[in-house]
Amino acid sequence: MKVLMGAVAAVIGLVVLALLAVVGVVIGDDDASAAESTSASGGLKGVPAEFSKWILKADEACKQQEMTPALLAAQLWQESKFKTSKEEATSEAGAQGPAQFLPSTYATWARDDDGNGEASLWDVGDAVMAQGRMMCSLLKQAKSSGYPGDVRALALAGYNAGWYRVQQYKGVPPKRFAKGETFNYVQIILSTMPRFQGPSLIQVSGHGSGADALRKAVGRIGTPYAWGGGGPSGPSKGFCDGTNGYLNGDCVASSTTGFDCSGLTQYAFAPKLKLPRTASAQYGATSDRPVSRSDLKEGDLLFWSHGGSGSIYHVAIYAGDGNVVQAPRTGRDVELAPLTSAMPERDYYGATRP
């Protein structure tokens, strides 16, 4: 985007470009809603830590299968080389931040994703999530357009030049447009993607209720924890009960869309298996199929109780190789964690096979 903006602005002016950059983009919350995705099937490499978390979140929030972490990473590299300073990440045409948004375009996609009280195109989290939302919408529009070619290329061209240019040429603008800058932008990003494609976060093999549930839970890594949130149909806003759902004294669960531990397991096993809502009830519903710690298989449910013998307070899904997928606590996200440190070791209660 950065390169093209300078060239086009010289011809038609920055104000006109800013207006046209968003023409034809379809906006819809359903485009960027959390849904089962392929984010966990593709990791990242060569990406700064402060970007990696948000790239995975942005990918996980988009239900378009063509969206991948490597696509977003390669695009960010082309836009800013992961730079965040105003000196290094401001183009001649006024595009700003690591995702190189014009302020007028950013306003369409801006949210305070990092929760610092400001939706800023200079904040890594806010910028990357806005990039993901815009690309998600463009991918959806590219798929429905009927234009020939890779839908990722069409979406990238729309991000760079504005969707109206894709409509004008009924595809990626040719090399003669803007001296080939959009054409080259698309080609460079698509060819750079393998550089950032890391190993899978989790290799889930086989089928059956356990493997399928694990695969589904893995797709939610990065989704926020919300006390009382989530269920068979997916994440939802939680609630505070006087004790749980608070962070630094504030009730955050009621404004957070996500999962708590048992909401995540309900979602993972639905609709094939209808688990009860709480961790304790889920243990009760599956306790007739206990599994020893030495015989754990992918998809088994693991439980923790206070002191290892009191009331059950937590449930997670075994992910193999000594790891679990879990929604840990308020202020955290669904994560892959070692079994030995997912919760206090002394609290481990046992496992069942749903």
Give pairs for 300-303: CB < 8 Å, separation 24+.
300/210, 300/351, 300/352, 300/353, 300/354, 301/265, 301/351, 301/352, 301/353, 301/354, 302/339, 302/342, 302/348, 302/350, 302/351, 303/279, 303/348, 303/349, 303/350, 303/351, 303/352
Q: Which residues is 251 bridged to in the sheet?
A: 246
The H or E element containing residue 317 is strand 312-320
Catalytic residue among 75, 131, 266, 314: 314
Is 326 annotated as catalytic?
yes
Q: What pLDDT does residue 8 have?
A: 36
Task: Estimate to the nearest angstrom the gap between the alpha carbon of 176 and the chain centroid.
Answer: 36
Catalytic residue among 78, 261, 266, 282: 261
Q: What pLDDT does residue 201 have?
A: 60
Tokens of 65: 């299968």
User: pLDDT tens, position by position, for the chain (354 residues)?
Assistant: 443 433 333 333 333 333 333 333 332 222 322 223 333 435 788 889 899 889 989 998 898 878 889 999 999 999 999 999 999 999 988 999 999 999 999 999 999 999 999 999 999 999 999 999 999 999 999 999 999 889 999 999 999 999 999 999 999 999 999 999 999 999 999 999 989 887 666 677 778 899 999 989 987 887 889 999 999 988 899 999 999 999 999 999 999 989 999 999 999 999 999 999 999 999 999 999 999 999 999 999 999 999 888 899 999 999 998 999 999 999 998 888 889 999 999 999 999 999
Q: What pLDDT does residue 134 have?
A: 98
pTM: 0.52
User: By C-alpha distance, which of 125, 118, 79 is closest to 98?
Assistant: 79
Three-class DSSP category at 255: helix
Is 314 annotated as catalytic?
yes
Q: What pLDDT does residue 65 have?
A: 77
Q: What pLDDT does residue 200 have?
A: 60
Is 251 annotated as catalytic?
no
**What are the start-end ranges of the H helices in the chain?**
2-12, 14-20, 49-60, 69-80, 103-109, 124-145, 151-161, 163-169, 181-196, 209-218, 261-269, 279-286, 339-342
Asked if residue 31 lies in contact with residue 62, where contact means CB atoms within 8 angstroms, the answer is yes
Catalytic residue among 64, 75, 78, 326: 326
